[in-house]
Amino acid sequence: MTYGTPGVVVHDPMTLPADDNVNSYTFCVELKGTQWFLQKGKMIAYYGSIDFNGIGHGRLDRLVRTSFHSPLHASDWVVAEGSGKMLLADRAFDVNSYDLDQGNLTIRAGNLLAFQPSLALKQSIVPGFLTLIGTGTFVAASNGPVVFMEPPIRVDPQALVGWADCPSPCHHYDHGYMTGLMGGLRAMTGLGGASGEEHQFEFVGAGTVLLQSTETLMAEQATGAVPQQAGVPGARGGHTGPAQQPGTPRLPGQLGDLQRRFGL
């Protein structure tokens, strides 16, 4: 007996794509005795025989040593091993695969779903981001389809998914609009028309910038703490240079800057 509904595509292991999207929200990985790293709980179904082991599994020590450099983040990751076809998805977000060829790509930690062990995963110096280095395929989720842009470009912080090959992401403030007493008041109160776009990330140099098409961020995924050392961004307790008000970054236009601005 055959089941099914006319017009509805039914997949079986023969028709499922190998390492490609089934639809915009589901990705199929083919394992032939090979291994993949994936974030915990992103597997939705599989054919064949596949084992899932925590990173701490003794047998995987060597693999972890060569391609996993985010030690305190390890409990969120598992290694899938075996043969068969495995479907990955994440909260009905768009998923896509990306190929790196002797390249590097930095991505927001919450967006990365899975990657081949031929890539090395490392924590980025930029807090909340992970960097993949090497040759291989990885799968990432985004809120809405991803668009690729060429630097020089300034992007909205919430739309940024990641970047490849360009080494200089930095903050950019719209000074012309935000400085001065009136600018400060505008930025603080929103009165007189703050556009909400006074702060951007700026990329220059050669490379590619990945953006998602909404400004709704995906949930943050902890990347693990970095070593508590002086000079390590994001490390707490290290010596942080000249006295600064703790906690908040100082934007131009904040009241704390007023005395300097009036020459006091």
Partner 1 sequence: MTGDAVKAKNGSMVAYDGQMAFKKLSGGGEGLRGMVTRRITGEQMTVMEVSGHGTCWFADRASEINLVSLQGDKLYVESSNLLATDAGLRTGTSFTGLRGASQGNGLFTTTVEGSGQAAIMSDGPAVVLRVSAQYPLTVDPGAYVAHQGNLRQSFQSGVTFRTLVGEGGGEAFQIRFEGDGLVYVQPSERNTVAGEV
Q: Does 243 bind partner 1 (CB under 8 A)?
A: no
Q: Which residues pair with 140 in a beta bridge?
A: 96, 112
The secondary structure of residue 256, as a DSSP letter, is: G
Q: Does 40 bind partner 1 (CB under 8 A)?
A: yes
Among 17, 32, 54, 167, binds partner 1 (CB under 8 A): 54
Largest CA distance in the chain: 87
Strands 26-39 and 112-115, by their bridges, are antiparallel
Among 18, 20, 32, 44, binds partner 1 (CB under 8 A): 44
Q: Does 219 bind partner 1 (CB under 8 A)?
A: no
Q: Does 145 bind partner 1 (CB under 8 A)?
A: no
Q: What is the nearest approach in angstroms of partner 1 to the Cβ of residue 4? A: 6
Residue 137 near residue 115, CB atoms below 8 Å: yes
Strands 119-123 and 68-69, by their bridges, are parallel
Q: Does 65 bind partner 1 (CB under 8 A)?
A: no
Q: How many angstroms separate the CA atoms of 162 and 126, rounded?
A: 11
Q: Does 32 bind partner 1 (CB under 8 A)?
A: no
Please state the length of the chain: 264
Q: Does 25 bind partner 1 (CB under 8 A)?
A: yes
Residue 94 near residue 111, CB atoms below 8 Å: no
Site residues for partner 1, window 76-135 (CB under 8 A)?
78, 87, 89-92, 95
Q: Does 158 bind partner 1 (CB under 8 A)?
A: no
Token pair in block for residue 45: 């179904």
Q: What is the nearest approach in angstroms of partner 1 to the Cβ of residue 18? A: 15
Residues at the interface with partner 1 (CB under 8 A): 1, 3-6, 8-13, 22-23, 25-26, 39-47, 50-57, 75, 78, 87, 89-92, 95
